[in-house]
Amino acid sequence: MINKIASLLEEVNHLKANTYDELEALRIQYLSKKGEISSLMNDFRNVAADQKREIGQKLNMLKTQVQNRINQLKEQLDDRDVSGEEMDLTRTSYPYHTGTRHPLSIVKKEICDIFARLGFSIAEGPEIEDDWHVFSSLNFADDHPARDMQDTFFVLHGADILLRTHTSSVQTRVMEKTKPPIRIICPGRVYRNEAISYRAHCFFHQVEALYVDKNVSFADLKQVLVYFAKEMFGAETKIRLRPSFFPFTEPSAEMDISCNLCGGKGCPFCKFTGWVEILGCGMVDPNVLDNCGIDSRIYTGYALGMGIERITNLKYQVKDLRMFSENDIRFLKQFT
């Protein structure tokens, strides 16, 4: 047995493996249950008591040496792989995929850029808001349906902490802290308790614009709306204002643009009217200015708000709103 161990010890130093398969074969030959070392361990039971100590030590030594040699061979194989000996450096590489901007980000940036050219600066506010900034300061009556749990997500019920339902809350935040002239654009995410479908989601995105100064008039608002529509949808775009109601503006209007798919001739997208609605707007209600500490006898202002998803749909004809939040790479890749 001593001789057998000695010759194996000699052998171990010369073991070679050129591939991982060969290495595995060595492992099986020496270290597996039916391998050389196991069979020596079996024989070891019959060794005479006075020899057990010496042979036992040799056997253990053999085992560690085999293990070390196999580890060493593995390291050599690993090293060879990364050192490139076996690589074909002339092969063409795999195509490298860069990410793309999300369509909503593209359109948000476009909207903000247009307003930035008119001197508006970006303002942001928290998504978790309180009743004052989302509703009360903006002149919502106590019994307005938006205050109902049916329509608004309350975070802390009874404590009036809620997820903002529109970015108009940022108006209040800025007006409370800033003296006119104020010229801001507020992009952000908003939340409403809606059943999710292809045309409604429980969260979406809006951009709010606010201009407060002395002598701001509805004519100024209209000018900005025309500029925005033409910049966003092309020089031939027409706008149409319809009277509307919002608690925080008086008078209020909704703006339609000539359908950019059919050029106003009428198509299924505009329901054959030639027009599509894109935003709400109006002159800031004097109550809102006063609520925010701005003297409504001195200052006037206009505000407008639009959904980014809506504008994006018009630009890219996305039929299902849910696509925007599912992050399907095949969808996102199209917007480069």
Q: Residues in the site for ligand DAH, rule: CB under 6 A?
A: 166, 168, 208, 246, 249, 280-282, 303-305
**CA 249, CA 31: separation in Å to the nearest integer?**
83
Pick 100 or 244: Cβ nearer ligand DAH = 244
Q: Which is nearer to ligand DAH, 16 or 240 (CB)?
A: 240
Q: What is the Rg, in whole angstroms, of the alpha carbon atoms belonging to the chain?
A: 37
Residue 167 Cβ vs ligand DAH, minimum distance, rounded to whole Å: 7
Cα end-to-end span (Å), the chain: 73
Indicate the residue among 184 and 303 with the shorter CB distance to ligand DAH: 303
The least CB distance from residue 249 to ligand DAH, in Å, is 4
Residue closer to ligand DAH (CB basis): 284 or 318 = 284
Burial of 87 (0-12, 13-18, 19+ CB in 10 A): exposed
Task: Considering the complex, state which of residue 59 and residue 281 has its C-beta at the smaller distance from ligand DAH.
Answer: 281
Which residue in this structure is represented by tokens 């020596």? Answer: 40
The least distance separating ligand DAH from the CB of residue 122, rounded to whole angstroms, comes to 16
Q: Which pair of structure tokens corresponds to residue 104?
A: 């909503």
| Shortest distance, position 139 Cβ to ligand DAH, whole Å | 11
Give the angle subtended at the CA of 327 by the CAs of 324 and 257, to the nearest 5°: 20
CB of 276 to ligand DAH, least distance (A): 16
The minimum distance between CB 329 and ligand DAH, in angstroms, equals 31
Choose between 162 and 303: whose C-beta lies nearer to ligand DAH: 303
The residue (of 78 and 194) whose beta carbon lies closer to ligand DAH is 194
> At its nearest, how many Å lie between ligand DAH and the CB of residue 78?
60
Q: Output 247 or 266, the one with its CB closest to ligand DAH.
A: 247
Min CB(184)–ligand DAH separation in Å: 11
Q: Give the separation between CA 153 and CA 193, rounded to whole angstroms.
A: 6
Whichever of 246 and 275 has its CB closer to ligand DAH, that residue is 246
For residue 305, which of 134, 56, 87, 69 has the smallest C-alpha distance? Answer: 134
Compute CA 6 distance to the chain's CA centroid, rounded to the nearest angstrom.
65
Q: What DSSP letter does each residue of 184-243 carry, written as one string?
A: EEEEEEEE------SS--SEEEEEEEEEEETT--HHHHHHHHHHHHHHHH-TT--EEEEE
**Rounded to an integer, what distance in angstroms lies between the CA atom of residue 31 and that of residue 38?**
7
Q: Which of 182, 169, 178, 172 is nearest to 301 (CA)?
A: 182
Q: What is the torsion angle, in degrees rounded to the nearest 10, for the CA atoms of residue 272, residue 226, residue 138 and residue 188?
A: 80
Residue least distant from ligand DAH (Cβ): 305
Residue 187: CB minimum distance to ligand DAH, A: 13
